[in-house]
Structure 1
Amino acid sequence: MNDPWLGLQHAADRDISLLSAALLIAKDEYPDLQPAAYEERIASYAAQLSADFSSAGSETAQLSRLNGFLFGELGFAGDERNYFDPRNSYLNDVLDRRLGNPISLAVIQISVAQKLGLALEGVSFPGHFLVRLPVEEGIVVLDPFHRGRTLDLNELRRRARSELSAREVDDQRLAHLLEPASHRAIIARMLRNLKAGYEERGAWDKAVRCADRLVTLDPLSLAELRERGNLYVKLGHLRAAREDFRRYLALAPQADDAEAVLNQLIACSGPSPRIN
């Protein structure tokens, strides 16, 4: 299959390389990017840690060493000043600048850990993306945006309540929120973050590129289909917008927002608006 994005669409999740897929996102912005060079950099990080991991007494000790290396010695950090800077979502930029957003830093953390046999997993938590490590006593949850800091139950509940506008988050709901994210879901969240950054800047052509990748990853996602249609409208690509709205209605004629989508479709069928 020539198109690697179609390859991701059809791949089983266990066959998706998180690192390779994240670099594939970057290749859209940097067509001349050589992913192998960045994969080798991740491999070199793992090689530098290999001896320390072998002598560490436990998985939590290995995790502490990993965090000390990435966030201490190498200086990876969350970009708090320009959170939505698109460079924070492109893994090559994150590796070069050592600045990123929660999910891009998590991908680096997970990728190095995997090469060392440490079962670090991503968590698509509300608000900031997190990582988790299953241990005998349960799980350790970390915040890669804040130097891999460990989060206790009270802080996790507080964050969940804040993001979900909920008065209380019980054990069952919190456990659900802390389930490991699939590789496909992680890549989709990276694309949504990137799309949000471009929308904030009014870069509709690049935002629609992200939306297109999201639809390719999951052609049955109604939310992504409608969102791509909305972005096509902003670009003045009304024919493409109509196709997305028609497909949305064909897939979900009884959707709660079907009438609103129909109205969008009708609006796109009129005279083309002037785009300044």
Structure 2
Amino acid sequence: MGDRLTLPDWNVLAAQADEALPLLETALLIARDEYPDLDADLYDTLVQSHVAHLRPQIDLIDPWPLKMAAINRHLFEELGYSGDHEEYYDPRNSYMNQVFERRLGNPISLAMVQMEVARRLGVPLDGVSFPGHFLVRLPVDDGILVMDPFNGGRPLGADELRERARPHLGGDIPDDNALLRILDPATHRAILVRILRNLHGVYVERDEWDRAARSADRVLKLMPDQTDALRDRALAYLKMDYAQGARHDLARYLQLAPDAKDAPDLRDKLIELNAAAPRRMN
């Protein structure tokens, strides 16, 4: 028996360098908020079983793109991991225990499966925080191979990538340099924050303000002064009638982002909360 997988402590993650943040372990830590009885070791063992099945084949293949094709074939065709096209915004698509169990996910959670398996097999697969759908990238001799985990790991050419980016760039088509910047590898912290931001958006749409606040709070455990998360947690606290927490977060947000577009409205809200505080105490 090997060592059991130990999940990190939320309170130490902010101090860790990006490259030291354990990706799968922290993603499972996010899932444990919603599934407190989650057995992390079970999912680590599952990933390892995928790796063990693939290793004899992968070791016989030399070029990384062909190794990656074999990995994708096993994950998406043989095991049936798939993008959830019918219920894209189902929160289960962001919780890794559910992704492993249902073999359904969104782009970033399926990328996590790909990356975890590929990296354990020595294939240097990275995530890409592409606008819209999260992607993955692999170095090749003459550049990078970009793939879409939501659609079976399908390779994407430069023209398609430009068209995908265009709606998020005000209609402008990125040139080669701009596209390469967009395709920079995502840090572990950026990937984890994007998972949490996705969850926050889902829970806001559902008016589940306690879960929306929790998602923003977890972003702040990774990045204590992330201004969007401070604002989002404050607004969720207001919906929950937790005025003290809202006051604290709004004050910090306005200190860090005094010129933000929403700063005047939020400053008025903070003044209103501060004025109401003595009455609440009385």
Same-fold status (TM-score > 0.5): yes
Task: Assess if the C-alpha contact under 8 Å between 1:134 and 1:140 holds in 2.
Answer: yes
Q: CA deviation at 1:255?
A: 4.3
Give the residue type in structure 2 aligned to 1:4.
D
The correspondence of residues 73-222 of structure 1 with structure 2, limited to 5 A, is 73-222=78-227
Q: CA deviation at 1:3?
A: 7.3
- What number of residue pairs does the alignment pair up? 271
Post-superposition Cα deviations, 1:29-50, rounded to whole Å, max 9, x if no partner, equal 1111111110111111111000
**In the alignment, is residue 28 of structure 1 matched against residue 24 of structure 2?**
no
Q: Percent identity?
A: 48
TM score, norm. by length of structure 2 = 0.92
Task: Assess if the C-alpha contact under 8 Å between 1:19 and 1:111 holds in 2.
Answer: yes
Q: Residue 267 of structure 2: which of 257, 262, 268 is its match?
A: 262
Q: C-alpha root-mean-square deviation of aligned residues, in Å? A: 1.6
TM score, norm. by length of structure 1 = 0.94
CA distance in 2 between counterparts of 1:3 and 1:260 reads 38
CA distance in 2 between counterparts of 1:61 and 1:117 reads 13
Q: Residue 53 of structure 1: which of 36, 47, 58 is its match?
A: 58
Gaps in structure 2 of 5+ consecutive residues: 1-6, 278-282
CA distance in 1 between counterparts of 2:8 and 2:45 reads 23
Post-superposition Cα deviations, 1:158-217, rounded to whole Å, max 9, x if no partner, equal 000023232321111111100000000000000011111111211111111000001121
Q: CA deviation at 1:119?
A: 0.1
Q: Residue 232 of structure 2: which of 221, 227, 233 is its match?
A: 227
CA distance in 2 between counterparts of 1:169 and 1:192 reads 25
CA distance in 2 between counterparts of 1:182 and 1:120 reads 12
Gaps in structure 1 of 5+ consecutive residues: none
Q: CA deviation at 1:96?
A: 0.2
CA distance in 2 between counterparts of 1:199 and 1:243 reads 21
**Secondary structure of residue in 1 paired with 2:144:** strand
Give the residue type in structure 2 aligned to 1:150.
P
CA distance in 2 between counterparts of 1:256 and 1:200 reads 22
CA distance in 1 between counterparts of 2:272 and 2:106 reads 37
